[in-house]
Structure 1
Amino acid sequence: MSGRPVLIAGAGISGLLLAQHLQQLGVPYQLFEQDSAIDARSGGWGLTLHWALPALRELLPDHLVARLPETYVNKAAAARGDTGRFQFFDLQTGSALYSVPAEERIRVSRVRLRQLLATDLDVQWNKTLQNIESSSDSVTAHFADGSSYTGCLLIGCDGSRSRAREVLYPEGHEMSPLPVQLLGGAALYSPEEMGGAEKIDPFIFQGSHPETDVFFFFSLLDTPNNFEESSKDKYLCQIIISWADAKNIPVPSDNAERIALMKSLTENWVQPFKGLVHNLPESTEARSIRIADWMFQPVQSPAHPRVVLMGDSAHTMTMFRGEGANNAIVDVLDLTKRVDLRSVGSLSTEGLREGLTAYENDVFTRAEPSVVNSRQACLDAHDFSRIINGSPLVSARLRK
């Protein structure tokens, strides 16, 4: 059994980081991803890394730590030590009501971070996990293309719609939707179209209107000359607005109508926030996202003792506190501290399960408050009165 690899289902942040660490240790692994390539579903998202940065540096080889700036959305700001202020604005008056401090914080491109983490890794693409079969001393992953692979441990890193989660929690794997509608898109803006937004914060800011409770999130995804392939004179911006279902505003299926809706909902906003929405080109893809979350329970599956979840598969949380990626990174570190990965292939099922149980308890203790706070932050974002009285939406992000 000692020669059997660790099977990793999913090449997201946690799956790639785990594979990098196993490769450093010389532990055999097989990494599977349902997408066809690393950038198949980039989605135009950024990630804010803060309390997980020490763990990230501990897990990665030094040469990849040195290359982390290749992922930054604003390398110039990061180089001067600017961690941003992550301010929250009253969109009726333009007043900054809160800022969220951080000793260290960087904003990265999700697709660039995945590309960096995939360096020198053997990823098997187009592999959609279909089923899991367990025996007394091994686990076999079956994929939709008919292939099967057997290992000593299977780690489900396959995201918020995790098939591994379905297998482990057949009666309770579905996510819990929140009563919130969200529309967002990304576009290139000239300095004139930015209206000075780049001076507010070099990374991200947010706000809400006290009369309509429509929420706004702004993120820089790239800055002029940030990379060789970056625009020479424009900013790549992510624009998101959201509102509570109670407003009874349906999301149109037509893209042009979605852009028009975003602009109509922000007509009474003060500048530059109004302009950031109204300058969206009609050709922008306006994506509709239904917010939902899920949190695993650390209960051993007797049928699959060598299977465990990690990252979004274990704890899907809303984007309103930016803690999903941070928890996913520390998941990997917690596993390394609870399971001797160098000898994982020779561990008895009982010995392995003891370490996995300790890992699951660590993850639950840390991530469950993040899921709860992120859910509350999402609800509060669409009720201005809750925000001004204090909310997880505007409180500091700290590792529990």
Structure 2
Amino acid sequence: MEGTTAAGGPRLPILIVGSGSTGLALAQGLRKAGIKCIVFEKNASQHRERDWNMGLHWGAPVLKSLMPDGWWDRIQSVQVDPHVPTKEEDTLTWLQGDTGEVMAAFTFGPFYRLRRSKLRDLLSEGLDIEYDKRLENITYAEDGQSVTAHFADGTTATGSMLVGADGARSSTRQVLLGPDVGAINHLPYAATFVQQRFSKEQALYLRSFHPLFLAGAHPSNTFAFFGMHDAADPDDPSSWTFFFYISWRSSLEEQEATKDWTDAQRLAQQKELSKPFCDPWKSAYEWTPDDAPVWHLGLTEWDPGREGHRWDNHNGLVTMVGDAVHPMTYQRGQGLNHAVTDAGKLRDALVQIQEGGDRAALITAFEDEVIKRGGTEVRDCTANTTLLHDWERVKQSPFFTKGMKKNET
């Protein structure tokens, strides 16, 4: 099934840089199609300190198509609450942050809220993954038939194609476009994330607002999210971990000035922002210990449709998927759906190439679609973030007007 080259030798593998959800989903899709691939991850292991959760909805059929037969039955096990079956339809409620009044309710589905670490563990099974491999450079064979990845540890790997799936601060993108054009774009918005357990009574109260997720906008020009991250034991609410944040307009100067803040300073700032909020945010922050660990993030994006952002794919030898090509702000919950769609479309193109299709034409057509679809979403998400933090215009935001629906391009 792995095929041969025109010279009769074994076909070189596809090199996938990055073992996030996108790279792993693509690798599983290629394995399913009988196309050899190797995944390279810059970190020393699969597990990192930070874990978060992601919404999967219109992209679900694509992820299912990439997984080995029968694996989709396991998707329940990687959800934030694996004990509650996914509903065919669910409702995301949007509250006015100061009064608790329902501003809007979006019904859609099925909606999967997946823990990133558990999804990665599932998608890692059966793959060839090499760790501690940080990409530094890419070179191309003179005959145009292979590409070589050069890693920081001095090693190299040669394949029939290289796919950058290495996230928002993609090394692949910076190699292809240079450190300036390929650098992530910092936005004047920030958020500090809290993951916290509470007492049984507190947990039951907080979860009574919605079993999985809740959003809110406040007249103070802040946006808030509250949701479940891990329902370890369904019968022990004190084992549940909640995930919540308040985001606000934060100038790049403020972000630079506070870059060395401690967790305690970050949390104190969040607690101050939460004081005018209704529940569940007000109580959740009051009940969070002052020394609780948090993590802070300035919002970023990179628009592949912007002039000067088109890269040279060297006649189809190199391309990018997921956050490497269209990192977007997260308040509209579209990132994972676009990422797995990229993986599915690239899998389809690689199958056609395997069957004798024109590599350069197929990869360029793949990129054209990704840039149009993903670039539109990047711009929409950035506009959405801007509007969510402007109370006078919040109801004009794509989140408010479209909910979680897919953009039509």
**In the alignment, which residue of structure 1 is the partner of 2:302?**
294
Deviation at 1:177, TM superposition (A): 1.4
Letter in 1 for 2:332: R
Q: Distance in 2 between matches of 1:302 and 1:213?
A: 42
**In the alignment, which residue of structure 2 is the partner of 1:183?**
192
Deviation at 1:271, TM superposition (A): 2.9
Letter in 2 for 1:238: F
Q: Distance in 2 between matches of 1:282 and 1:144?
A: 39
Q: Distance in 2 between matches of 1:30 and 1:379?
A: 39
RMSD: 2.3
Q: Distance in 2 between matches of 1:375 and 1:53?
A: 24
Per the normalisation by structure 1, the TM-score is: 0.91
Deviation at 1:377, TM superposition (A): 1.6
| Aligned match for 2:135, one of 104, 115, 129 | 129
Consecutive unaligned residues in structure 1, runs of 5 or more = none
Report the 3-state secondary structure (helix = DSSP H, G, I; strand = E; otherwise coil) of the residue aligned with 2:61: helix
Letter in 2 for 1:295: D
| Aligned match for 1:146, one of 135, 154, 157 | 154
Q: Is the contact between residue 20 and residue 121 of structure 1 (CA under 8 Å) also seen in structure 2?
A: yes
**In the alignment, which residue of structure 1 is the partner of 2:172?**
164
Deviation at 1:365, TM superposition (A): 2.2
Q: Percent identity?
A: 28
Cα offsets for 1:309-363 (capped at 9, x unmatched): 011001000111111111010001111333336727x76xxx2110001101111
* Alpha-carbon spacing, 1:44–1:284, altered in 2? closer, same or farther (3 Å): farther
| Aligned match for 1:3, one of 11, 17, 33 | 11
In the alignment, structure 1 residue 55 sits paired with structure 2 residue 62: yes
* Alpha-carbon spacing, 1:72–1:287, altered in 2? closer, same or farther (3 Å): same
**In the alignment, which residue of structure 1 is the partner of 2:341?**
330
| Aligned match for 1:244, one of 225, 246, 249 | 249
Q: Is the contact between residue 218 and residue 239 of structure 1 (CA under 8 Å) also seen in structure 2?
A: yes
Consecutive unaligned residues in structure 2, runs of 5 or more = none
Q: Distance in 2 between matches of 1:336 and 1:195?
A: 43
**In the alignment, which residue of structure 2 is the partner of 1:92?**
98
Deviation at 1:40, TM superposition (A): 2.1
Q: Is the contact between residue 168 and residue 304 of structure 1 (CA under 8 Å) also seen in structure 2?
A: no
| Aligned match for 1:201, one of 190, 193, 210 | 210
Report the 3-state secondary structure (helix = DSSP H, G, I; strand = E; otherwise coil) of the residue aligned with 1:112: helix
**In the alignment, which residue of structure 2 is the partner of 1:192?**
201
Q: Distance in 2 between matches of 1:40 and 1:271?
A: 31
* Count of matched residue pairs: 389
Q: Is the contact between residue 353 and residue 362 of structure 2 (CA under 8 Å) also seen in structure 1?
A: no
* Alpha-carbon spacing, 1:341–1:254, altered in 2? closer, same or farther (3 Å): same
Q: Distance in 2 between matches of 1:341 and 1:273?
A: 50
Deviation at 1:231, TM superposition (A): 5.9
Deviation at 1:248, TM superposition (A): 6.5
**In the alignment, which residue of structure 1 is the partner of 2:115?**
109
* Alpha-carbon spacing, 1:209–1:353, altered in 2? closer, same or farther (3 Å): same
**In the alignment, which residue of structure 1 is the partner of 2:22?**
14
Report the 3-state secondary structure (helix = DSSP H, G, I; strand = E; otherwise coil) of the residue aligned with 2:188: strand
Q: Distance in 1 between matches of 2:163 and 2:74?
A: 27
**In the alignment, which residue of structure 2 is the partner of 1:262?**
270
**In the alignment, which residue of structure 1 is the partner of 2:124?**
118
Deviation at 1:383, TM superposition (A): 1.1
**In the alignment, which residue of structure 2 is the partner of 1:367?**
374
Q: Distance in 2 between matches of 1:7 and 1:141?
A: 8
Per the normalisation by structure 2, the TM-score is: 0.89
Q: Is the contact between residue 8 and residue 156 of structure 1 (CA under 8 Å) also seen in structure 2?
A: yes
Letter in 2 for 1:356: I
List structure 1 runs of 4+ shifted beyond 4 angstroms: 246-252, 302-305
Report the 3-state secondary structure (helix = DSSP H, G, I; strand = E; otherwise coil) of the residue aligned with 2:382: helix
Cα offsets for 1:72-100 (capped at 9, x unmatched): 11234335x26542221112111110122
Q: Distance in 2 between matches of 1:65 and 1:271?
A: 36
